[in-house]
Amino acid sequence: MAPVTAAAAGRKILRTLALGVLTAALYAGLFLIEDLVVRLSALGGWYGLVPVAIAFVFSLSHGAFTGYFWDLLGVRARK
Amino acid sequence: MDAAANFIPLDLFDIAYLLIVGFIGGLVSGFIGSGGAFVLTPAMMSLGVPGIVAVASNMCHKFPKALVGAIKRARYGQVDVKLGLVLGVSAEAGVLYGAHLQESIQRAFGAAGSNLYVSLAFVLVLAVVGGYVMWDAVSAYRSGTSRAQEKVSRLARRIQAVDIPYTMLYFRSLDARVSVLFTIPIGFATGMLAATIAVGGFIGVPGMHYLLGAPSLMASATELVIAFVMGLGGTIKYSWSGLVDIRLAMIILAGSLFGIQLGAIGTTYVKPYMIKVVMGTIMVVVLVSRALVIPVYLSELELIGPLAGGTAKVLKGVSFGIMMFALVTGAMIILQALRKGMRTEREAQAVAAPAVAVMPLPGGAAQVLPQLSPLGRFERFLVASDGSEYSAGAVREALRLAKRCGARLRAVTFVAADQEHETLGEQILKHELDAARVHLEQVAAQATAAGVDCEIEVVQGFSVHDRIVDESERMRADLIVVGRRGRRGLARMMVGDATLKLIGGAHCSVLVVPRAAEVRGRRFVLASDGSRFGDAAAAAAGNLAKRCETPVTVVSVAVPSHPETRRREAPGVVERIVRALRSDGVDADGEVAQGLAADMIVAAAARTGADLIIMGSHGRTGFERLVLGSNTERVLNRTQCAVLVVKAA
């Protein structure tokens, strides 16, 4: 059992790191092209879907990352 | 004017401020389903963000936050998606109507009129609903029923009883059918309140709980689905007008997603009434906050005299401060409940852990040490049951023996689960866990009726025999009682036999009970080959026979293929054990049989009318068992009576 547990823990750390890096990259990207995003958002109409799409993408990556983050810190739901 | 001028430049202080407020708001939303959003709009406005952009950006952070929170809590089985979507549709209509009403009031009475309307809505709703929620939580606490399951309110039962043709829908959280004609006003009011004060959940959660009959945990989780539907609709509406500042929304989201996960985890550690305590506390404090600014708006509308210089500013500042205080207070209650719950859980696990020290192995891994079990001790029993007909005999006989021996019983049911299962099959896993709990509660009820001290637990893991052995070590069991599925032939070769694997891995004795077997104590057959394994079985047989006042027939088999010297030992083995048992006050006789060991043991049991065969285990496993075979296995496969396999330890 021990090797399986160790492997699972390793996979979890890797997954957390990968999601953390992806989330950080998304935020960095958002602020790097801040002017463009703000200009497009302000146009409204079909361009209004830009912030909606960004919110969806961020929630998937960041949401998964925060879940793994608390899990790694030992803050888990009671079984 | 350039529309982008609505979007202010942000510095590090602004970002840190929004992250912290977002985290606290997320924490509260994850716990009570909503309630974190109402300070975010004023918080953004305090940075200079125009009101309408603050509302739009708040909405845009809300729907992804609610989505993540809903997914998280759905994993805990707390979300009723169908109820959330049905209420969400009417809530969306409520949002549109609420926004329209706001605009009309603003056109007719100006900003002060709109603010007065919002504050009055706050005070009215929070006074009525918040007061009732708080009263209910305090009543549950005072009456000592706070740990008990919540009861469906009388009003909810009446609503569930109303049958209006073509409008009835079944909802899982209610475990009942309810007419959508009742869900529409609740959803509509939720949406209207969301459009007015940004927290529709202050009506949605109590509405689902008190009016429809959903448990408060499920109501607060399902509210996240409604918040997602409303938030997505509202975001599209505002972003179509180019009013969403996605930077603000994503910064708040960054903080709130950490918070909402933590709040959702917190719900698994608290009793249902804690949801009401947090919600009621926030609602009552916010009520005070909003009541304070009512004179300001009344004064602006010239319905009362003008306020003294600076009073309006002070009242608005104190009001915002109290609102922040409400949110921080809620967050503190949640964090405290989470900390306390996790500590209690750790302590409970420590109590259940083995008393013997866990020694680290050189490789860094740790394993549970085998217990030092005196042979023939019958004080702690572990019965493993899967609720099937194959386990019925095991449960029945475990209770019977536990009563005779005055032993403590622990009943466990195994549910296969690992990380992948938990991710891929939450609903299936939950269904299995629920079924396991129901079965164990039935076992506990049988134990209570029989006067046996019994604990129950659902255990999860990869392999059933490993987990049962682990559990037996954790509780330092003297005996494991299991049923017999009797897998034979190709099936046994392909997947193995869980009972035999359990016997091979266990450090204590194992009682295997076929479905129809009953250990009434008519007679025990003790099989011994004269080895130390046979002596261990004799010690256990003597102890059990005394407790059950049962006669014992000692059988030793002279196997034709064995060397002559060994065959000649058989009578001596029988005589030695019979003498030892008699000196211990047990009614014992003996016989020597010739033939195949397993066949002779089973035949002796049948001939003497024995209801239990007791034998030692050589503990052969793996390749050795494949080559040499196992007498235990052969006996188990040939007999219809229970078999006690004693481990020499």
Per-residue pLDDT at B403:
86
The nearest CA of chain A is from the CA of B165 a distance in Å of 39
What confidence score (pLDDT) does residue B559 get? Answer: 80
Q: Is the pLDDT of residue B358 over 60?
A: no
Residues of chain A with pLDDT under 50: 1-4
The reply to whether A77 falls in a domain is no
Query: Per residue in B455-507, pLDDT tens?
Result: 888 887 767 778 888 888 888 888 999 987 655 544 444 334 677 778 888 88
What are the structural domains, with CATH classification, of chain B? 12-341 (no CATH), 377-486 (3.40.50.620), 519-649 (3.40.50.620)
The whole-angstrom separation of Cα B432 and Cα B417 is 10
Lowest mean pLDDT, pick from B202-206, B229-233, B592-596, B628-632: B628-632
Which residue from A minimizes the CA distance to B8? A38
Output the furthest CA–CA distance in chain B (Å, rounded): 118
- The per-residue pLDDT for range B528-573, each reduced to its tens digit, is 888 888 888 888 898 888 888 899 999 998 887 777 777 778 888 8
Residue B24 distance to chain A (closest CA, Å) = 15
| Nearest-CB residue to A70 (from B235, B238, B262) | B262
* Distance in Å, alpha carbon of A12 to nearest chain B alpha carbon: 10
Interface test with B, best of A22, A36, A59, A71 (most B CBs within 10 A): A59
Confidence bin at B626 (pLDDT 50/70/90) = very low
Please check whether residue A49 lies inside any domain of the structure.
Answer: yes
Q: Which tokens in the block code for residue B264?
A: 């959702």
CB B246 within 8 A of CB A54: yes
Distance CA B326, CA B346 (A): 30
Domain holding A34, by residue range, is 2-72
Return mean pLDDT, chain A.
86
Residue B539 token pair: 């010690």
pLDDT at B622 over 50: no
User: Is A78 among the domain residues?
Assistant: no
Question: Is the model's pLDDT at B623 over the cut of 70?
Answer: no
Q: Report the number of distinct structural domains present in chain A.
A: 1
Mean pLDDT of chain B: 81
Distance CA B421, CA B17 (A): 39
Is the ipTM reported for this complex over the cut 0.95?
no
**Alpha-carbon distances, residue B423 vs B128, B380, B430, B519 (angstroms):** 41, 36, 12, 43
Chain segment B396-431, per-residue pLDDT in tens: 899 988 888 888 899 998 877 654 444 445 666 777
Question: Which residue of B229, B232, B250, B265 is the best one to mutate when testing the A interface, meaning the one whose CB has the most A CBs within 10 A?
Answer: B250
Checking if the pLDDT of B363 tops 50, the result is: no
Q: From residue B485, how far is each of B414, B500, B594, B605 by CA, in Å?
A: 15, 11, 30, 21
Whether B272 contacts B147, CB under 8 Å: no
What's the number of CA atoms in the CB half-sphere (13 Å) around residue B631?
A: 26
For residues B376 and B543, the answer to whether their CB atoms sit within 8 Å is: yes
Assess if residue A79 is contained within a domain: no
For residue A48, tell me if it sits in a domain: yes
Cβ contact (<8 Å) for A52 and B338?
no
CA distance A53 to A55: 5
Q: Which one of A39, A62, A70, A71 makes the best mutation probe of the B interface by having the most chain B beta carbons within 10 Å?
A: A62
Whether A40 maps to a domain, the answer reads: yes
> In which band, very low, low, confident or very high, does the pLDDT at B88 lie, cut at 50, 70 and 90?
very high
Shortest alpha-carbon distance between residue B490 and chain A (Å): 27
Residue A42 within any structural domain of the chain:
yes
Closest CB to B246: pick one of A8, A51, A76.
A51
* Model pLDDT, residue B190: 93
Among the partner-chain residues B241, B254, B460, the one whose CB lies closest to the CB of A62 is B254
- Mean pLDDT (whole number) for B576-600: 88
Give the Å distances, CA to CA, from B608 to B524, B552, B603: 9, 10, 9
CA B415 – CA B620 distance, rounded (Å): 27
Asked, for residue A50, whether it belongs to a domain, the answer is yes
Q: What is the pLDDT of residue B96?
A: 87
